[in-house]
Structure 1
Amino acid sequence: MCIQETKCSVFNKESVFLLWDSNEIEWVENGASNNVGGLITIWRKNCFQMSRFLNGRNFTIIEGLWKNGIEVFVTIVNVYCPGSLGDRKVVWEEISKYRSLQLSKAWCVVGDFNSIRSREEMKSLMFVSDYHREIDGFNAFIEETELVDIPLTGRKFTWYKPNGLVKSRIDRVGEGLLRRIRELDAKDDDFDLNEQEREERRRAKNEIHGVLENGQWCENKEEIKDKVKDFFEARFVDNEELLVKLDNVCFNTISEEDNQMLVEAFSEEEIKEAVWSCESSKSPGPNGFNIGFIKFCWEFIRVDIMATVKDFELSGKWHRGSNVSFLCLIPKNDNLQ
């Protein structure tokens, strides 16, 4: 199993066991940087025996013996390509270089390439000319590495903008209600959905038709509301009991020099270094201004940013709205229960 964009720098074994629902597994992780990217590749011990692995930037290469059926030595590559074309080309070149040394072995490359192979793999109101360079480069990478692009089953596209106006295929490798959802999905692939049908599909996918509690199925709307409310209240209720006691625990202490470094005011160089270490295509909040905008306009907005940081140092509080976020429950199944 190959998972991309984990946004985790480190996985503990309990978390990985929950992903597979078994402890008879092994894995290789490639940690996220500043909560951006991240990869993890998991397999059953009795099906695959790893001999070595390589963690590159935005990819993981694993070599080993496939033992499920006929034994064969294989190479598995898990990829999560960055947003910019230049960075994606670096990933393609590094994988191609490694592939050129391993032509005698079976390869399986899977992941989120953030690229398309043809114009038909993207639906948008406008087609940027740079996409032709991207298409040519991605196809050249596939040809050079002698890979076969496995056809996609199900829907034509794997990534959608929330407004439905842009769609692309960038990831490779109730029966009546479900049928209606599939019909709307198929129609949407050809840009034929109107606003009413979009709303119908959204409601059909998100509607909770009933809940199962203690073996009893309930479809009464008022009871469903109460059970959902009780469920989340139990998750987020404050517990006044002190569950952890630290009596007679000796903690390590830091030096006076380290303490002075931690409490001194942030310098503009430190703040700029923190901003420049972030992925430019990522956005720290819901206002639409990404890190690339902050970098580009740094000379115009740095005074305001420094003033905000200084105010925080003096008061110890962020202004209301500085860290606003939206909480949205995203269903994992078409027929919610």
Structure 2
Amino acid sequence: MIVSSFNIRGIGGALKRRRIRDMVRVQKIDFLALQETKLEIIPDSVCYKIWGSQDCEWVYLPSVGRSGGILSIWRKSNNSLIFSFKGEGFVGVCLEWGVTKTICFVVNVYSKCDIVSKRRLWSILTNCKRGLGDGRWCVVGDFNAVRRTEERVGVNTVVGGLSQLN
């Protein structure tokens, strides 16, 4: 299974959708995880255009206004959707994949930046794994994690008591 994940930072433009569609075709992607769609509603036509055909199924978590939004799309002919599950900052699917009917859980994450929200997200995902049983797990997405504070771009930080935009 070839899985690809991108923070798309808005999926509204035709050029962006075309580039993703070309990548899906050329790289033979089986599962596409997109974060920050910035769409409250994702119509069938958008998913078909992104995927390049109607041989797909999808599940999404809508944005809140122009913030966030998660979309997972996968090749319909290779699998059967057993169920999907959603929570704050993630959308997951349980699939029977391929001719061997391997049970696969794929979770698409878009984590908030604050540590409390991150801990809550990982606690929920850990409980999902415990409660949903055996199978192969793949967790992908934008975890909003950095090794050093300097790596954060566009986030307010406090320096010497003054707020500064990086």
Does TM-score exceed 0.5, indicating one fold? yes
d(CA) in 1 for partners of 2:164 and 2:62?
26
Residues 149-164 of structure 1: matches in 2 within 5 Å?
A: 161=153
Unmatched runs of 5 consecutive residues or more in structure 1: 125-158, 163-280, 282-287, 291-337
Partner of 2:102: 72
Which letter does structure 2 place at the counterpart of 1:94?
I
Residues 132-281 of structure 1: matches in 2 within 5 Å?
A: 161=153
Q: Which has the larger radius of gyration?
A: 1
d(CA) in 2 for partners of 1:289 and 1:83?
17
Residues 109-148 of structure 1: matches in 2 within 5 Å?
A: 109-116=139-146, 119=147, 122=148, 124=150
Give the SS at the match of 1:87.
helix
RMSD of the TM alignment (CA)? 2.6
Q: Deviation of residue 103 (structure 1)?
A: 4.5
Which letter does structure 2 place at the counterpart of 1:43?
W
Aligned residues: 128
Of 130, 133, 149, which aligns to 1:100? 130
d(CA) in 1 for partners of 2:117 and 2:53?
36
Partner of 1:52: 83
The higher relative CO (CA closer than 8 Å, separation ≥ 6) is in: 2
Of 24, 27, 31, which aligns to 2:62? 31
d(CA) in 1 for partners of 2:164 and 2:80?
45
Which letter does structure 2 place at the counterpart of 1:77?
V
d(CA) in 1 for partners of 2:140 and 2:59?
15
Identity %: 25
Unmatched runs of 5 consecutive residues or more in structure 2: 1-31, 157-162
Contact 2:113 2:145 in 1 (8 A): no
Offset from partner CA, 1:156-207 (integer Å, 9 cap, x none): xxx7748xxxxxxxxxxxxxxxxxxxxxxxxxxxxxxxxxxxxxxxxxxxxx
d(CA) in 1 for partners of 2:76 and 2:141?
22
Q: Deviation of residue 123 (structure 1)?
A: 7.4
The structure richer in strand per residue is 2
Give the SS at the match of 1:40.
strand
Of 97, 117, 121, which aligns to 1:91? 121
d(CA) in 2 for partners of 1:106 and 1:74?
5
